[in-house]
Structure 1
Amino acid sequence: MIDIAASPSPVPSVVFSVAALFCISVVALLILRYYLPLRTTPAFLLVPVFFALWLPASMVLLVPIDLASSAMVDDIDARGIWLNLRTLKVSWRITYWLTFALTWFILPILGEYSDSGYRDPKGKLLDSLRANAQYYAMVFGSGALGLIYVVISYGHFSESLKSTVMALAYCWGLILAIYLMGHGLVSIPRRLFRNANVSGRLRRIQTQAPKVYEKMDDAEMDLEDLELQVAELSRRKGGSASFFQDWIEELVDMTNLPESQPGRATAVRGSGNQSPLPNVITEKYLAELTRRLVRARHARSRYLNEWNRLLEDAVKTQAILDSAASKKLESGKASPSAGFWDRHTVFTPYTRFLFHYHLVPYLQIALAAILSLASVCIVWSELVKGLFPQLSVIRYSVIHHEVASKGQVGFAGQVIAAIWMVYMCAAALISITEIKVWRGRALVRRNTAQESAFWYASQVARLSVPLTYNFMTFLGSIYRDTVFYDFLGQLINLTPLGKWFDYLFPAFILLPVCATLFGLYGKVKRVVGFGVDVLDDGDEDTDERGAAFGTGSWREGRDLIERELNGTSAAIRARRGGGDIGGGGGGGRSAPVLSIPRAGRRDGGSTTAGGGPTTPFGTSPTAGMTAGPSSTRPQANTSARRVGRATAAVPDGEPDDENFFEAFGHRVRNTIDTLDTPKWLQDIGQGIKKPKWMGGDGDEGHGGGGGAREGGSDVRRWFGGGGGGGGESGEGRIRL
């Protein structure tokens, strides 16, 4: 590789660059294959999402090449992989403007297009444009204000429009990138440190189990409510519904209603929160119902996948912990869907125990220590790059040569620069997956919803350019000679406001770093969040009893996992009608494809099939192997479960569309409804008990008067009178 880099001709560098781009393409395809079924995914989804991943990854290759190529000296040995400046300029233009178009136009429109419930492409496109109208109004409004400022500051209009567009896009992306990267720089090393403790990792899995199970159960109930609504809709044969019979039949095909009587409302059991059907069925109503049904199916797929992954992690962690006694760790039989490395292994049970129980924790601790040091270096470089650029640690790790009093980047410096950029991008992108975004967006293995795929791809494209340019500012004055600075940097620094923003705003990375490091998110969530997760800072917020805030304790999670693994939930999970949720939807509409069996419907009773006593999870401990399809599933003991879903009416619109005040009122009401009445308050309602010498409740059955026991009051009993009939004192006798 040294000979290739030292060649005076750029041909070896071109060959290396093409080979690197091919490897990046293969990695991007593997990522798409992991989250999407390539054969059944339409091309309008695969092509833009592929480029949204491929273009940012190619920037990791372009930046080191640009740094080495900008060294305008005759010492070729000081360069690494280099290209001529014209090739670099064309590459940067194509990469930047394609990324810009994907971020601000193509991916948002296609995302809403795939999420629309209309049947025809024209209706989907118009619905997508209406949904993005407010978004584009904000973008163009900000652009107009920025253009006025640039014209006043710069004095020319020739470059004002382009510079305004590029500078505003960079500033918005930098705000998001700095916040997400600051969170990830703490979250990644801390997660490695925590996972090194096997028992602590198992405890955290058990703590998360009730919350994950409740979300999965809620997703199933929401889907059942919509299926009930479709069942009621299919019973309408006349009126306005007769104009949409084909559409209604497609909705019925998307559900798992019994084929013999698809319109029977008793076929499924929902939560009782399904919205009433309108008197007049319109196209807009059917489009909204279709969109909600597709979202509910994907939500159920998401939480089923999350629950199965949690069970798998719990089984593996428990096996590693139990192997400490026998010094052997059996791998067991691999599943048919397992990968190559899971099906084939060279470890014996003893070497597998040594690897997982002793070696892996130390490797995790070592990697966490290295990444922690890297995080400190990145934060330090962000703080000093504006005033003291010579103190940047990243600068000295990348620039190794000084030729003619000018810093040069060799091949080793290029590799180190690529590693720094990969870690910064990974910290920001991992934080995106931890954000609890609206509309239930999530990445699900082989079953990611189309709208979720477009949204995550747009975030990757949006963060790539700000992170790339932000890294180059760590290197001091050398980055001003690059092609990328000539293309983007001078437009950002066109006005004093843009220059100061570029240098001073990254210092605010201390805010997300400190918030994540000291668990500020969990504290704010306890005070004002009402149990709503915004950003997972990795802190379980455990109290002195070991219970996570807003969920059940780790003991409840342990029991819930044991029931699931012992067959209780597996026995009561029967496929409804013998079909799974991946049954085809009509009209070319994509439907989620699941390899997970359809969950059975739950009865509304409070007893189990075995008739035994109920546990806090809602099922008998002995009902695991005998429960039939009509048994109830174990319920997590959470506050939301005690409230009961049937007590609150769901509005006609989506729950996600409620405003802040409605959501705040609902959370306050749910919090008040779940409060248990104190014992002292219950005693006040029962009245004040009389003492024994007054014949109160304390001496019932011991000579007290019957009238007193029946709630009467007779003053003669104070003197032994005939108020009660029996006792030591007879009728008419006075006792002193």
Structure 2
Amino acid sequence: MASALSAASAVGSEVFAAIALLVLSFVVLLILRYYLPLRSTPAYVLVPIFFALWLPAFIVLLVPIDLASSAATDDVAARGIWFPPRLLLVSWRITYWLTFALTWFILPILAEYSDAGYREPRDRVMYSLRQNAQYQAIVLGSGILGLVYYFITYGFHLVFLKGVVMALAYCWGLFLAIYLMGHGLVTIPRTLFRNASISGRLRRLQSHAPKLYERMEDAIMNLEELEVQVSELSKRKTGTARNFQEWIEELADMCNVPESRPGSSMPRIGTESRILPTVITEKYMADLTRQLDRARHARSRYVDEWNLLLLDASRTQAILDSAASKKLDFGSATPGSSFLERTTILNPYSRYVYHFHVLPALRVFLAQFVGDPAQRSPSLDWRKGAGGLCWQVIAALWIMYMCAAALISMTEVKVWRGRALVRRNTAYESGFWYASYVARLSVPLSYNFMTFLSPTVFMKTRFYDFLGQLIDFTPLGNWFDNLFPILVLIPVCATLFGLYGKVKRMVGFDMDLVDEEENETGYGTGSWREGRALIERELNGTSLSRREAIIGGSAARSSPILSVPAARREGAPQPRSPPRPRHTGTTDGDAEDDNFFTSLGHRMKNTIDTIETPKWFQEIGDGIKKPKWLGGDEEGTQAGSSSAAGSGSGKRRYISRNGYQSNPAPDETTTE
């Protein structure tokens, strides 16, 4: 009878949980739609990524429900949302093992399958299995060492073997979460605080523009080289190329070189023998397809980042200029804007007040709130709250903040083989990879959040009975739980005190984990003045890329426009620089050498080179005659003088052709 009443009283919580799951499903679909086109994306991509995002969201919802269900109170109404013990245990088992399977097997295999480059599904599956076998061999080798230690210490027990596997997966995910979350705990409040300054935000955007523009151009040039290679391959009609004629035609249709960039499809004499192998094999075609697909997505990534930077810089400049008129108007929305961006609610004056006064103050408040260590630590007195609805909401928000800190670090710390999330054009392999790490980090962060609470609270939960006991059983898991609050300080201090920048300058590697906002002067990335001129040229439609886009006409979907056409504001300055930023001819690792003294040396050298040689220095030696015993005579002297004058004038002509200022020497008069 008591169990029937308990099950009946949980109907309201179960209905609420079902509605919450429907809402989460709708939110996950919106996220997928933002990064992937739902209609053209295959089902084998959408379904696993959907569950890889939906299951972590359900875990965030399930942890507060588990805490409320295990609360020591007889008042059922004060528990908030709760489940019966059996339903809670089944939910944890299904959620955990589905997440485990997606993380370690399904998503990695599908990621390599989508990035294989082969045409036939069987060849793509074999390629994916070979690539994953290498990674799984490394993981299995590390796991065997742990199993040997476990068998020697505790003996062989099948039940405890499951605990070792779960503890190893938990420790690996928690180790990765320590770094990512520690980086994000500093990045989020610092970004909010820095963006509160409108002029500082504009300056950082301008400083970042030259480096981003160069990366975009490099990605475009890399794609053009591959397209030229495909174009040369399509001209080969004999030999082994005949066996892959349909494959080559598909690559040619994918490139679309004549329509997108006519200049790139110009025939190059003598280049076919250098860029194409003598024998065309299936492995070569797969590698070329894989490189072409990666290059196309890399171009889309940097083009998208460049467009967002232009839009953000234009809006920030408009906010800064509205201080005089007290009116703010962003102009007409771009064709790719969302419904919310096209909706106009505020008038120009209220929009100015919101963006110039309210939003910066709100950012400062949020930066202080999330950056306060006392506010950050989830010191929840669950015994007093008895697992009420208010405490459940607070717990869910803290878990979401911990996950957001880790996931933001994954998008900002770009050391993941060029993987990135691009709006409406994310590569399938990148989508699988990011989804796998979202699922991988959810369980360790959720359980570690519970360990922040009192042991009398989280040890009564079903999550602890299912996972916590097996983790605490092994010394490795217990050691990680005890040292997690201390180890998280390592990435926090590294990000807070700029340790990444010091390591980069010491080692010389081009690590994208360095916070570029610390580089206020812009050394090595182009100064903010170059970025300002570059952004102005793009917004005004006078840049070289914009002119090429206009000449080339409308491009296909695979070739997005390089710049966002925007309405020119009144009083906008005219472009004052060449169409491309300055190239120093150095690599990213040597870009730090371009400091103040190097720039000063370049200017002094250019100044000295433009100084004209004095006339008295040019005429030295004209009056000296060569002795006769050396073969000199009057005619030879005159001929030598004329040849010297001719060579001098030739030098001056050479200097003039190379852009230096030089005045022609006056004509010499001949005395009778």
Q: Deviation digits for residues 567-588 of structure 1, max 9, x if unmatched?
A: 1126422378656353xxxxxx
Question: 1:129 Cα shift?
Answer: 1.1
Read off the aligned partner of 2:191 and give its amino acid letter. Answer: R
Provide the C-alpha distance between the structure 1 equivalents of 2:277 and 2:150, rounded to a whole number of angstroms.
Answer: 53
Provide the C-alpha distance between the structure 2 equivalents of 1:550 and 1:222, rounded to a whole number of angstroms.
Answer: 22
Q: Deviation digits for residues 309-329 of structure 1, max 9, x if unmatched?
A: 000001100000000011111
- The answer to whether residue 2 in structure 2 is matched with residue 28 in structure 1 is no
Question: 1:703 Cα shift?
Answer: 7.8
Structure 2 residue runs without a partner (length 5+): 1-5, 565-573, 631-639, 642-672
Instruction: Give the structure 2 partner of residue 635 of structure 1.
Output: 580
CA, structure 1 residues 519+677, in 2 after alignment: closer, same or farther (shift >3 Å)? Answer: closer
Alignment of 1:157-196 (within 5 A): 157-196=157-196
Instruction: Give the structure 2 partner of residue 149 of structure 1.
Output: 149
CA, structure 1 residues 268+73, in 2 after alignment: closer, same or farther (shift >3 Å)? Answer: farther
CA, structure 1 residues 263+564, in 2 after alignment: closer, same or farther (shift >3 Å)? Answer: closer
Identify which of 384, 399, 402 aligns with 1:400: 384
Instruction: Give the structure 1 partner of residue 549 of structure 2.
Output: 574
Residue 92 of structure 2 aligns to a residue in which SS?
helix
CA, structure 1 residues 576+667, in 2 after alignment: closer, same or farther (shift >3 Å)? Answer: same
CA contact (8 A) 2:505 2:592 kept: no
Q: CA RMSD in A?
A: 3.4
- The answer to whether residue 426 in structure 2 is matched with residue 448 in structure 1 is yes
Provide the C-alpha distance between the structure 2 equivalents of 1:301 and 1:89, rounded to a whole number of angstroms.
Answer: 44
CA, structure 1 residues 69+275, in 2 after alignment: closer, same or farther (shift >3 Å)? Answer: farther
If asked which structure has higher relative contact order (CA below 8 Å, sep 6+), I would say 2
- The answer to whether residue 208 in structure 2 is matched with residue 208 in structure 1 is yes
- The answer to whether residue 265 in structure 2 is matched with residue 320 in structure 1 is no
Instruction: Give the structure 1 partner of residue 369 of structure 2.
Output: 370
CA, structure 1 residues 263+340, in 2 after alignment: closer, same or farther (shift >3 Å)? Answer: closer
- The answer to whether residue 343 in structure 2 is matched with residue 344 in structure 1 is yes
Question: 1:361 Cα shift?
Answer: 0.6
CA contact (8 A) 1:580 1:597 kept: no
Instruction: Give the structure 1 partner of residue 567 of structure 2.
Output: none
Question: 1:164 Cα shift?
Answer: 1.5
Instruction: Give the structure 2 partner of residue 508 of structure 1.
Output: 487
CA, structure 1 residues 251+274, in 2 after alignment: closer, same or farther (shift >3 Å)? Answer: farther
Residue 454 of structure 2 aligns to a residue in which SS?
helix
CA contact (8 A) 1:112 1:451 kept: yes
Provide the C-alpha distance between the structure 1 equivalents of 2:260 and 2:310, rounded to a whole number of angstroms.
Answer: 36
Residue 137 of structure 1 aligns to a residue in which SS?
helix
Residue 335 of structure 1 aligns to a residue in which SS?
coil
Q: Deviation digits for residues 429-487 of structure 1, max 9, x if unmatched?
A: 00000122343211111110111100100110110010011100001211111100111
CA, structure 1 residues 167+237, in 2 after alignment: closer, same or farther (shift >3 Å)? Answer: same
Provide the C-alpha distance between the structure 1 equivalents of 2:407 and 2:17, rounded to a whole number of angstroms.
Answer: 25
CA contact (8 A) 2:107 2:432 kept: yes
TM-score by length of 1: 0.76
Read off the aligned partner of 1:464 and give its amino acid letter. Answer: S
Instruction: Give the structure 2 partner of residue 521 of structure 1.
Output: 500
Question: 1:539 Cα shift?
Answer: 3.5
Provide the C-alpha distance between the structure 2 equivalents of 1:19 and 1:345, rounded to a whole number of angstroms.
Answer: 31
Provide the C-alpha distance between the structure 2 equivalents of 1:709 and 1:44, rounded to a whole number of angstroms.
Answer: 91
CA contact (8 A) 1:29 1:50 kept: yes
Alignment of 1:471-490 (within 5 A): 471-477=449-455, 478-490=457-469
Provide the C-alpha distance between the structure 2 equivalents of 1:307 and 1:261, rounded to a whole number of angstroms.
Answer: 20
Instruction: Give the structure 2 partner of residue 560 of structure 1.
Output: 534
CA, structure 1 residues 500+571, in 2 after alignment: closer, same or farther (shift >3 Å)? Answer: closer
CA contact (8 A) 1:231 1:264 kept: no
Question: 1:552 Cα shift?
Answer: 0.5
Q: Deviation digits for residues 46-84 of structure 1, max 9, x if unmatched?
A: 000000000000011100010011135423244121110
Provide the C-alpha distance between the structure 2 equivalents of 1:288 and 1:153, rounded to a whole number of angstroms.
Answer: 48
CA, structure 1 residues 699+577, in 2 after alignment: closer, same or farther (shift >3 Å)? Answer: closer
CA contact (8 A) 1:224 1:268 kept: no
CA contact (8 A) 2:71 2:383 kept: no
Q: Deviation digits for residues 96-121 of structure 1, max 9, x if unmatched?
A: 00000010001111001001110010
Read off the aligned partner of 1:468 and give its amino acid letter. Answer: S
- The answer to whether residue 330 in structure 2 is matched with residue 331 in structure 1 is yes
Instruction: Give the structure 2 partner of residue 279 of structure 1.
Output: 278
Instruction: Give the structure 1 partner of residue 291 of structure 2.
Output: 292
CA contact (8 A) 1:208 1:557 kept: yes
Provide the C-alpha distance between the structure 2 equivalents of 1:521 and 1:446, rounded to a whole number of angstroms.
Answer: 32
Instruction: Give the structure 1 partner of residue 571 of structure 2.
Output: none
CA, structure 1 residues 274+418, in 2 after alignment: closer, same or farther (shift >3 Å)? Answer: farther
Between structures 1 and 2, the one with greater helix share: 2
Provide the C-alpha distance between the structure 2 equivalents of 1:598 and 1:187, rounded to a whole number of angstroms.
Answer: 29
Instruction: Give the structure 2 partner of residue 425 of structure 1.
Output: 403
Question: 1:40 Cα shift?
Answer: 0.5
Q: Deviation digits for residues 131-180 of structure 1, max 9, x if unmatched?
A: 11210001111221222222233334122321121011000000000111
Residue 286 of structure 1 aligns to a residue in which SS?
helix
Read off the aligned partner of 1:137 and give its amino acid letter. Answer: A
CA contact (8 A) 1:117 1:124 kept: yes
CA contact (8 A) 2:34 2:424 kept: yes
Identify which of 614, 618, 622 aligns with 1:706: 622
Structure 1 residue runs without a partner (length 5+): 1-5, 382-392, 402-407, 583-592, 600-619, 624-632, 645-665, 687-696, 715-723, 726-736
Provide the C-alpha distance between the structure 2 equivalents of 1:510 and 1:362, rounded to a whole number of angstroms.
Answer: 28
Provide the C-alpha distance between the structure 2 equivalents of 1:506 and 1:63, rounded to a whole number of angstroms.
Answer: 20
CA, structure 1 residues 709+363, in 2 after alignment: closer, same or farther (shift >3 Å)? Answer: farther
Provide the C-alpha distance between the structure 1 equivalents of 2:237 and 2:551, rounded to a whole number of angstroms.
Answer: 25
| Matched length | 604
Q: Deviation digits for residues 701-731 of structure 1, max 9, x if unmatched?
A: 5985426799xxx9xxxxxxxxx99xxxxxx
Provide the C-alpha distance between the structure 2 equivalents of 1:561 and 1:669, rounded to a whole number of angstroms.
Answer: 22
CA, structure 1 residues 557+488, in 2 after alignment: closer, same or farther (shift >3 Å)? Answer: same
Residue 62 of structure 2 aligns to a residue in which SS?
helix
Read off the aligned partner of 2:482 and give its amino acid letter. Answer: Y
CA, structure 1 residues 536+33, in 2 after alignment: closer, same or farther (shift >3 Å)? Answer: farther
Instruction: Give the structure 2 partner of residue 602 of structure 1.
Output: none
CA contact (8 A) 2:163 2:471 kept: yes
Read off the aligned partner of 1:317 and give its amino acid letter. Answer: T
CA contact (8 A) 1:235 1:263 kept: no
CA contact (8 A) 2:111 2:428 kept: yes
Structure 1 window deviating more from structure 2 (303-312 vs 331-340): it is 331-340
Question: 1:257 Cα shift?
Answer: 2.2
Q: Deviation digits for residues 323-376 of structure 1, max 9, x if unmatched?
A: 001111123222333222322222111111111111111111111111112x55
Read off the aligned partner of 1:204 and give its amino acid letter. Answer: R
TM-score by length of 2: 0.83
CA contact (8 A) 2:524 2:593 kept: no
CA, structure 1 residues 264+241, in 2 after alignment: closer, same or farther (shift >3 Å)? Answer: farther
Instruction: Give the structure 2 partner of residue 691 of structure 1.
Output: none
Instruction: Give the structure 1 partner of residue 76 of structure 2.
Output: 76
CA, structure 1 residues 318+144, in 2 after alignment: closer, same or farther (shift >3 Å)? Answer: same
Percent identical residues: 60
Question: 1:529 Cα shift?
Answer: 3.0
CA contact (8 A) 1:10 1:84 kept: yes
CA contact (8 A) 1:331 1:349 kept: no
CA contact (8 A) 2:167 2:470 kept: yes
Instruction: Give the structure 2 partner of residue 491 of structure 1.
Output: 470
CA, structure 1 residues 273+350, in 2 after alignment: closer, same or farther (shift >3 Å)? Answer: farther
CA, structure 1 residues 709+346, in 2 after alignment: closer, same or farther (shift >3 Å)? Answer: farther
Provide the C-alpha distance between the structure 2 equivalents of 1:598 and 1:539, rounded to a whole number of angstroms.
Answer: 23
